[in-house]
Amino acid sequence: MAKKDIDWGNIGFGYIKTDKRFVSNFKDGAWDEGALISDDTVTISECACVLQYAQTIFEGLKAYTTEDGHVVCFRPDLNAKRMADSAERLEMPQFPEDRFVDAIHQVVKANIDFVPPYGSGATLYIRPYMFGSNAVIGVKPAQEYQFRVFCTPVGPYFKGGVKPITIRVSDFDRAAPHGTGHIKAGLNYAMSLHAIVDAHGQGFDENMYLDAATRTKVEETGGANFLFVTKDKKIVTPKSNSILPSITRRSLMTVAKDYLGLEVEEREVFFDEIGDFVECGLCGTAAVISPVGCVNDHGKEIFFENGKDEMGPVITELRETLTGIQMGHIKAPEGWIEVIE
């Protein structure tokens, strides 16, 4: 076995086909045992529920090489649980959580030569997903489903240093109260595409979505949760039923409390108060935390005092501690690191 001949430092975030993927089919009320296959295409009915009514959910996590040469992934049990919650909300069968984690193991092992080496900054991004596969024309849930896991190597998120980004307050909403904002469904992303293309067109990196009901509270961006830092180093994250519960954000809150001794608070965050925070970051698997330097509210700029030119000190410490735990330099809490090989 030899690592693939890939320029790990320069691959960016794009799809690269790997050797194997895991597929399991749900039919007649049961999942089959599943298998690793080589075919990277999906063949389904032209009337498949996913194609007509967007019945699809997904997850995202990373495998990477630690300093001592192990290939590991980070808290896959939480992805398994979150996918089960997503499935329930879209009337899809749950893929058993232990089998989900086993499928991750199988896929990473079968593509071990695509796991970037330690120190390259690159990782193997893993994408579990599930969709309604049989023909459905009258609106109802599918009766047959496919669960798949593929992986693709991705480059370092921050190439050539981390620059704080500028985001804008969006006039579009991401999620309705009592809607689907709290689950990882493709439909939440379909409707965010126009908002992100529009934001990019106007020179902004991301959208800050406010709560749809009152437009007074901070929710999240299209794909990452917010963390704010107060003047006295308290970590504050918005609480709302329509935010997707980021595993990175939940882990960072634990790191802040248990490793850095910081006070943490999950509560409603009013847009009016964000100027009082001194640092702001966006949390997600891809970047861990990206610093936000400025929020643009229809032309009015709100800067975060300690993080407008470079990543602020508290966000930097949080980021270094979590990546240190992930890479094996710092002892992880029980169960956070899943060793694959």
Ligand X SMILES: *Cc1c(COP(=O)(O)O)cnc(C)c1O
Binding site for ligand X (CB under 6 A): 60, 184, 220, 223-225, 244, 246-249, 283-285
140 is catalytic: no
Give me Rg for the CA atoms of the chain.
20
- Burial class (CB within 10 angstroms; exposed 0-12, middle 13-18, buried 19+) of 174: buried
The distance of closest approach from Cβ of residue 62 to ligand X in the complex, given in angstroms and rounded to an integer, is 9
Please tell me what DSSP assigns to residue 258: I
What distance, in Å, lies between the first and last C-alpha atoms of the chain? 14
The distance of closest approach from Cβ of residue 39 to ligand X in the complex, given in angstroms and rounded to an integer, is 27
Q: Angle at CA 13, nearest 5°, toward 317 and 248?
A: 35
Please give the full DSSP string across 1-21, using - where no structure is assigned.
Answer: -------GGG--S-----S-E
Q: Which amino acid is at 117?
A: P
Active-site annotation holder among 20, 62, 184, 217: 184
- Burial class (CB within 10 angstroms; exposed 0-12, middle 13-18, buried 19+) of 127: middle
The distance of closest approach from Cβ of residue 225 to ligand X in the complex, given in angstroms and rounded to an integer, is 5
User: Of 81 and 109, which has the nearer Cβ to ligand X?
Assistant: 81
- Burial class (CB within 10 angstroms; exposed 0-12, middle 13-18, buried 19+) of 298: exposed
Residue identified by tokens 């796991």 is 115
Q: Which amino acid is at 173?
A: D
- Burial class (CB within 10 angstroms; exposed 0-12, middle 13-18, buried 19+) of 41: exposed
Q: Which two tokens stand for residue 311?
A: 């990543």
The distance of closest approach from Cβ of residue 322 to ligand X in the complex, given in angstroms and rounded to an integer, is 11
The distance of closest approach from Cβ of residue 57 to ligand X in the complex, given in angstroms and rounded to an integer, is 10
- Residues labelled catalytic: 184
